[in-house]
Structure 1
Amino acid sequence: MKRYRLIVRGMTCTGCEEHIATALENIGAVNIDASYRHGEATFELPDDVDVRKAQEAIREAKYQPGEVQEIQPPRNGVAGDEGEYDYLIIGSGGAAFASAIKAVEYGAKVAMIERGTVGGTCVNIGCVPSKTLLRAGEIHHLAKTNPFIGIHTSAGDVDLASLIKHKNELVSQLREQKYVDLIDDYGFDFIRGEAKFIDEKTVEVGGRRLTAKRFLIATGASPDIPDIPGLKDVDYVTSTTLLERKRLPKRLVVIGAGFVGLELGTLFNNLGTEVTILQRGDTFLRKYDLEIADVVKQALTEQGINLVTGATYERIEQHGDIKQVYVTVNGKQKVIEADELLIATGRKPNTEALHLEAAGIQVGSRGEIVVDEYLRTSHPSVYAAGDVTLGPQFVYVAAYEGGIAADNAIGGANRKANLEAVPGVTFTNPSIATVGLTEKQAKEKGLEVRTSVLPLSAVPRAIVNRETTGIFKLVADANTFKVLGVHVVAENAGEVIYAGTLAVKFGLTIEDLRDSLAPYLTMAEGLKLAALTFDKDVSKLSCCAG
């Protein structure tokens, strides 16, 4: 028997799944699993039955068969090749641990190599520390300036050292629970040191040579420092070192207006620091549609953040503790002074020390590891996942890719990484959440689209919160009304976007959103109101007529 995965288009319900199963049973298939949600069917066929008969049976059942793949049985130790380990993982972040756990479940002998702190970026220096401090900043900001008449709140000076200590305790706790403790729980080897490839089957760690049948590179990324005259002689901070400072700066200048710069600028503005964010390009949030960028710019400005676009950096100097950033903006030279200078101009992959050329592993123009849709590198026994490939820089994407890499490297599954519906959240005030295509991206793909733009002032939750700076935008196919993209700027936008992700991933239509019940006085109701806005003026509806 051989096992296959077949793409099936046209299934819309569990009844369709039953029809597909019956069609496949009629040609002798067994162990059938049809899923309308995933748009596929997996099944086994006798060796003497051509898999094209399955495609023909699906077509006769009035569905559209697509690509078919043979699924190899689990390797259970990756028999055949020689090596001390079945699977050797370099790195210990989200991608690495997700992959190690799945590989162990397949029965593989696994080892993980880490040169620094266990847990990677997210738990140690990224998501966890920044988000707990952002929450602290939000509370401090609301205490200073709450929007309700009749409630009198105030906020004293911020004890940053205590906040950082509390943050470090949380990081340590989660690192132990979610990473370190799992090493013994799953029984894989953990090796400390820096790995470098000797050849395609061997790495060296601290003078010890280790061989493996399959490898995963999951070494992540780190801050990329731009070449600005004088910067190397200045006491600057990155997203890593800023969150270890013990004293609150009076003035913070941020070079870079990506999600890291915006989040950390928001954090310190909420804590009481005077913040200036500098961007080299003229177009703010250029990867977003104009309506989204404009409302975020409005929100930052309302909060007192000085946002400067179109800045040309001439040089940076330091005099005592004061940093001076010399820029040209609109043809005029300016000097912007800071007590703290944050460099947030993107991230670079951690590949320099790996000696990838020894294993014949191809890298891109920025040093990122080039992978195919199965996450294989240019050497078929080596896989890569997470930030080291410079894909979407989210820990949940890294973990997803780590699992796929293990399925393919150890389980022989030939799974493709599908990143068509990846939600992203930037935790500013209000937060920015997006999934799917922007209007511009959809049009660049040649799609005819219709859009709906709903100001937050039309969302009852925002009205009662007395915080109405924000927006909902839906992008839909003009012919099918299938939801192509969801974009939200609002309080708790990150909680709302999961519903948008499901809509994009499973091909829901605007009508599906209209016909679904949305709880009143939630921010998620904005999705339904935005759907109604395609052909109604929601300002003319009663409170919960949506």
Structure 2
Amino acid sequence: MKKFDAVIIGFGKGGKTVALAERSDKMYGGTCINVACIPTKALDHSAALSAAMGGSFGEKAARYRAAIEEKRALTAKLRQKNYDKLASQPQITVLQGTAQFTGPHTVSVSGPQGVVELWGDTIFINTGARPFVPPIPGLAGNPRVYLSETLMELEQLPRRLVIIGGGYIGMEFASIWANFGSQVTIVQDGEAFLPREDAEIAAAVLESLRARGVTVLRGAEIHAVRGGGDTALIDLTASGEARTLEAEAVLVATGRRPELEGLHPEAAGVELTARGAVKVDAHLRTTAPHIFALGDVAGGLQFTYISLDDARIVRSALLGDGSRTTENRGAVPYSVFLDPPFSRVGLTEQEARDAGHEVKVARLQAAAIPKAQILRQPAGLLKAVIDADSSCVLGAHLFCAESHELINLLKLAVDQKIPYTALRDAVYTHPTMSEALNDLFASVH
């Protein structure tokens, strides 16, 4: 048995030291680099360029195939870079294989090198999440049904794409494939579109998708998926009407669940939550005091930068004063890479009112921003929520070009309780999207 100061299970942003076990050599670097953030954003950029070029479906399909190859090259490069960064260090051992707890301090790794028994003084669970597939008849084993990871490997652009699920992943893929030239239909079971978002912003996103030919079926129930030859048939009921959709590809985008298959955390005294995530405290310590869980597997927000911040929290607990926790990392910004992207930080207007704030609201149409016109992306809406008593920014919702960059400035404003007047009266470079904050916060009422 090999003994280590630390054993890390999973190759995501949360784990970068000592003995590391990763199930697949195609996942070095974790979910973000290989099957999520990086490849989807690469495809999003390529799709936007393709949409601007126009042309026949055949021309679009050729550009799509080229984009898939470029995406593969990019992820392979980053994957190798992450592997080399660790494997080149003599104090780090990287093992490919499936890990399984065999005791409180012991882990068995089964892979190409055989079975290796590890003993770790401290152990980190960093296995991420996997797509959830609902029990709809005909989904499993259907060659026309894809998950987000596998759709990004599809070399032939589908003329018709049906997306099951109206969440953030489904929105991003709908935007990307619509820009490439597919006819996209989103099927969601709920009536409300993006129910966790500000109602005005959700309406603007829906309008933008529809303007690009995306159909959204709400309050739908899928009964079965049939076929699987050249096309799949999706039997459903929407708005009380029975319908059958036909598509060359069906994407299942119904969320992700913590990845713990085969790990047997119970053998180490690690308990799970009712939702199947690893139970952790504010320092990400599990019910076994020497074992920590980081990233998606711990059941928190599923963002790669949260996993990275989780590593800071664990470092603070093990090597610092323990002052950094999951409860004091501030407002968490996020972006949904539509075209244009939608980004948010802090409270919606309704959430602020429900929390007892007297609020003021700022609104600005993206078309009023010179840089948005330069970028030929005039669609969208910017909205901010302000506490009427303190003048502090409570939340920001930006559906506009480059919102994924702009939202980070708004996070600082929310965390540091900066009054909106400081953003309104600041001097910004021109022409930029950030100068829109002058006009946005001048509209407060």
Instruction: Please name the residue that 1:283 is paired with.
Output: 192
- In 2: Cα distance, 1:290 partner to 1:481 partner: 23
How far does residue 419 in structure 1 lie from its aligned partner after superposition? 4.0
Q: 2:245 aligns with which of 332, 336, 354?
A: 336
Instruction: Please name the residue that 1:520 is paired with.
Output: 430
Of the structure 1 ranges 477-486 and 463-472, higher mean CA displacement relative to structure 2 is found in 463-472
Give the 3 Å change call, closer, same or farther, for CA 234–508 of structure 1 in structure 2. same
- In 2: Cα distance, 1:186 partner to 1:294 partner: 54
Residue 355 of structure 2 is aligned to residue 452 of structure 1 = no
How far does residue 185 in structure 1 lie from its aligned partner after superposition? 4.1
Q: 2:11 aligns with which of 87, 92, 105?
A: 92
- Map 1:249-260 onto structure 2 (within 5 A): 249-260=158-169
Q: What are the superposed Cα offsets for residues 222-250 of structure 1, whole Å, 9 maximum, x if unpaired?
A: 11101112222522100110111111111
Instruction: Please name the residue that 1:180 is paired with.
Output: 84
Give the 3 Å change call, closer, same or farther, for CA 466–247 of structure 1 in structure 2. closer
Instruction: Please name the residue that 2:303 is paired with.
Output: 394
How far does residue 414 in structure 1 lie from its aligned partner after superposition? 4.7
How far does residue 507 in structure 1 lie from its aligned partner after superposition? 1.3
How far does residue 515 in structure 1 lie from its aligned partner after superposition? 2.3
Residue 135 of structure 2 is aligned to residue 227 of structure 1 = yes
- Map 1:71-90 onto structure 2 (within 5 A): 84-90=3-9
Structure 2 SS opposite 1:353:
coil
Structure 1 SS opposite 2:439:
helix
Q: What are the superposed Cα offsets for residues 152-188 of structure 1, whole Å, 9 maximum, x if unpaired?
A: x999343243322222111111112234333324731
The runs of 5 or more residues in structure 1 that have no matched partner are 1-82, 101-109, 146-152, 536-546
- In 2: Cα distance, 1:193 partner to 1:409 partner: 27
How far does residue 466 in structure 1 lie from its aligned partner after superposition? 4.6
Give the 3 Å change call, closer, same or farther, for CA 179–407 of structure 1 in structure 2. farther
Residue 131 of structure 2 is aligned to residue 211 of structure 1 = no
Instruction: Please name the residue that 1:325 is paired with.
Output: 234
- In 2: Cα distance, 1:447 partner to 1:199 partner: 50
Residue 39 of structure 2 is aligned to residue 164 of structure 1 = no
- In 2: Cα distance, 1:507 partner to 1:310 partner: 39
- In 2: Cα distance, 1:157 partner to 1:477 partner: 48
Q: 2:20 aligns with which of 112, 129, 142?
A: 112
How far does residue 410 in structure 1 lie from its aligned partner after superposition? 4.6
- In 1: Cα distance, 2:149 partner to 2:249 partner: 14
Counterpart residue type for residue 399 of structure 2: V
Structure 2 SS opposite 1:317:
strand
Q: What are the superposed Cα offsets for residues 249-286 of structure 1, whole Å, 9 maximum, x if unpaired?
A: 11110111222111111111111111111111101011
Of the structure 1 ranges 407-416 and 369-378, higher mean CA displacement relative to structure 2 is found in 407-416
Instruction: Please name the residue that 1:304 is paired with.
Output: 213
Structure 2 SS opposite 1:326:
strand
- In 1: Cα distance, 2:250 partner to 2:423 partner: 45
Instruction: Please name the residue that 1:511 is paired with.
Output: 421
Give the 3 Å change call, closer, same or farther, for CA 96–176 of structure 1 in structure 2. same
How far does residue 438 in structure 1 lie from its aligned partner after superposition? 1.5
How far does residue 130 in structure 1 lie from its aligned partner after superposition? 1.2
Given that residues 175 and 338 in structure 2 are in contact (C-alpha distance below 8 angstroms), is that contact kept between their aligned partners in structure 1?
Answer: yes
Give the 3 Å change call, closer, same or farther, for CA 466–122 of structure 1 in structure 2. closer
Give the 3 Å change call, closer, same or farther, for CA 509–186 of structure 1 in structure 2. farther
How far does residue 527 in structure 1 lie from its aligned partner after superposition? 2.2
Counterpart residue type for residue 311 of structure 1: A
Give the 3 Å change call, closer, same or farther, for CA 533–176 of structure 1 in structure 2. same
How far does residue 443 in structure 1 lie from its aligned partner after superposition? 2.6
Q: 2:382 aligns with which of 469, 472, 491?
A: 472
Q: What are the superposed Cα offsets for residues 376-422 of structure 1, whole Å, 9 maximum, x if unpaired?
A: 11121111111112211111111111232133235563531234321
- In 2: Cα distance, 1:142 partner to 1:432 partner: 20
Counterpart residue type for residue 213 of structure 1: D
Residue 258 of structure 2 is aligned to residue 355 of structure 1 = no
Give the 3 Å change call, closer, same or farther, for CA 200–322 of structure 1 in structure 2. same
- In 2: Cα distance, 1:324 partner to 1:518 partner: 52
Given that residues 221 and 350 in structure 1 are in contact (C-alpha distance below 8 angstroms), is that contact kept between their aligned partners in structure 2?
Answer: yes
Q: 1:424 aligns with which of 329, 334, 339?
A: 334
- In 2: Cα distance, 1:154 partner to 1:320 partner: 21
Q: 2:173 aligns with which of 233, 244, 264?
A: 264
Instruction: Please name the residue that 1:45 is paired with.
Output: none
Structure 1 SS opposite 2:342:
strand
- In 1: Cα distance, 2:90 partner to 2:253 partner: 37
- In 1: Cα distance, 2:430 partner to 2:217 partner: 39
The runs of 5 or more residues in structure 2 that have no matched partner are none
Counterpart residue type for residue 281 of structure 2: D
Given that residues 228 and 313 in structure 1 are in contact (C-alpha distance below 8 angstroms), is that contact kept between their aligned partners in structure 2?
Answer: yes
- In 2: Cα distance, 1:365 partner to 1:280 partner: 23
Given that residues 472 and 527 in structure 1 are in contact (C-alpha distance below 8 angstroms), is that contact kept between their aligned partners in structure 2?
Answer: no
Task: Report sequence identity in percent.
Answer: 35
Give the 3 Å change call, closer, same or farther, for CA 442–183 of structure 1 in structure 2. farther
- In 2: Cα distance, 1:319 partner to 1:232 partner: 11
How far does residue 140 in structure 1 lie from its aligned partner after superposition? 0.6
Rg larger for: 1
Given that residues 383 and 409 in structure 1 are in contact (C-alpha distance below 8 angstroms), is that contact kept between their aligned partners in structure 2?
Answer: no
Instruction: Please name the residue that 1:129 is paired with.
Output: 39
- In 2: Cα distance, 1:466 partner to 1:164 partner: 25
How far does residue 311 in structure 1 lie from its aligned partner after superposition? 0.9
Given that residues 57 and 181 in structure 2 are in contact (C-alpha distance below 8 angstroms), is that contact kept between their aligned partners in structure 1?
Answer: no
Instruction: Please name the residue that 1:25 is paired with.
Output: none
Q: What are the superposed Cα offsets for residues 326-371 of structure 1, whole Å, 9 maximum, x if unpaired?
A: 1111111111111100001100110121111112212122311121
Give the 3 Å change call, closer, same or farther, for CA 530–136 of structure 1 in structure 2. same
Counterpart residue type for residue 218 of structure 1: N
- In 2: Cα distance, 1:444 partner to 1:370 partner: 29
Of the structure 1 ranges 453-462 and 127-136, higher mean CA displacement relative to structure 2 is found in 453-462
- Map 1:57-76 onto structure 2 (within 5 A): none
Of the structure 1 ranges 161-170 and 233-242, higher mean CA displacement relative to structure 2 is found in 161-170
How far does residue 217 in structure 1 lie from its aligned partner after superposition? 0.5
